[in-house]
Amino acid sequence: MVQIAAAAADSKGGEELVALDVSEPLPLADAFLLVTGGSERNVAAIADEVEDQLLQAGHKRLRREGRKESRWVLLDFGDLIVHVFHEEERNYYGLERLWKDCPVIAIDSPTKSSSD
């Protein structure tokens, strides 16, 4: 799921992709995928593409929040929760800091987003 979501986010210009294994401290999910978009329109496009690709792969979305404002869109697919942030929100909320003790999941993507 992480790889599908990461590839979808990358295809719409998502930046600073980070996947975290949150299965130990958070029994409700296995992974978070954090993605940054450069504008509200970009955040919306990234979230829509991630959602479309995961649904096409047969995964069920449990919840979506924040799409109207498109500053921080949360897509809950059960085992995977995708956070698509506008740059300012990502810096402000700092989920990487909150979950810093969680292992990073390698993202297999041939483009620059995962190799930075």
| pLDDT tens track for 44-80 | 999 999 999 999 999 999 999 999 999 999 999 999 9
Percentage with pLDDT > 90 across the chain = 88
- Is pTM, for the whole model, over 0.85? yes
Instruction: Check residue 115 and give its pLDDT.
Output: 40
Report the greatest alpha carbon distance in the chain. Answer: 34
Axis crossing angle, helix 40-56 with helix 2-11, rounded to the nearest 10: 140
**Domain with 59 in it:** 2-107
Domain-embedded: residue 79? yes
Domain-embedded: residue 113? no
pLDDT-based confidence at residue 108 (cuts at 50, 70, 90): confident
Determine the average pLDDT of the residues in 24-38: 93
Determine the average pLDDT of the residues in 88-115: 82
Instruction: Check residue 26 and give its pLDDT.
Output: 84
Give the span between the Cα atoms of 53 and 15, in whole angstroms.
Answer: 18
Domain count across the chain: 1
Domain-embedded: residue 11? yes
Domain-embedded: residue 48? yes
Handedness of CA 94, 74, 25, 80 (dihedral sign): negative
Domain-embedded: residue 114? no
Instruction: Check residue 53 and give its pLDDT.
Output: 98
Check pLDDT > 60 for residue 31: yes
CATH code assigned at 22:
3.30.460.10
